[in-house]
Structure 1
Amino acid sequence: MRSLFLLTFSIMFCSAAVAQEESTTPAAATADSDHSDTSDKPLDFWMKKKLDYSTGILRGLSMGDFAEIEANANKMRVLNKVEGFARSRFEGYRGHLRSFERMTDEVIRQAKKENIEGVTLAYHQLTVSCVRCHQSLRETE
Structure 2
Amino acid sequence: MQIDKQNTLLVGGEQSPRRAVIGGMVGLGIVAMLCLGTFTRPQRVTAQEPTGEKPNDVAVFMRAKLGHSQHVMEGLALADYSLIARGAHDLALASQASSWQVLQTEDYARQSREFRRACESLRSAANDKNLDGAALAWMEVTLKCIQCHKYVRDEQAGN
What pairs up with 1:40-79 in 2 under 5 angstroms?
41-42=57-58, 44-79=59-94
Q: Does residue 11 in structure 1 map to residue 25 in structure 2?
A: no
Shift of the alpha carbon at 1:73?
Answer: 1.2
* Cα pair 2:32 2:145 within 8 Å, conserved: no
Tell me the TM-score normalized by structure 1: 0.77
**Structure with the bigger percentage of strand:** 2
> What is the aligned length?
132
Q: Quick one: which of 10, 27, 35 aligns to 2:54?
A: 35
Q: Quick one: which of 112, 120, 128 aligns to 1:97?
A: 112
Question: Mind listing any 5+ residue stretches in structure 1 that lack a counterpart?
Answer: none
Residue deviations 1:31-85 (CA, integer Å, cap 9, x gap): 9x9537xxx823x233211111000000010011001111111111111111477
Tell me the C-alpha RMSD between the 2 structures. Answer: 3.0
Deviates more, 1:123-132 or 1:91-100: 91-100
Question: Mind listing any 5+ residue stretches in structure 2 that lack a counterpart?
Answer: 1-16, 46-51
**Structure with the bigger percentage of helix:** 1
Tell me the TM-score normalized by structure 2: 0.70
Shift of the alpha carbon at 1:105?
Answer: 0.3
* Cα pair 1:46 1:83 within 8 Å, conserved: no
Sequence identity of aligned pairs in percent? Answer: 20
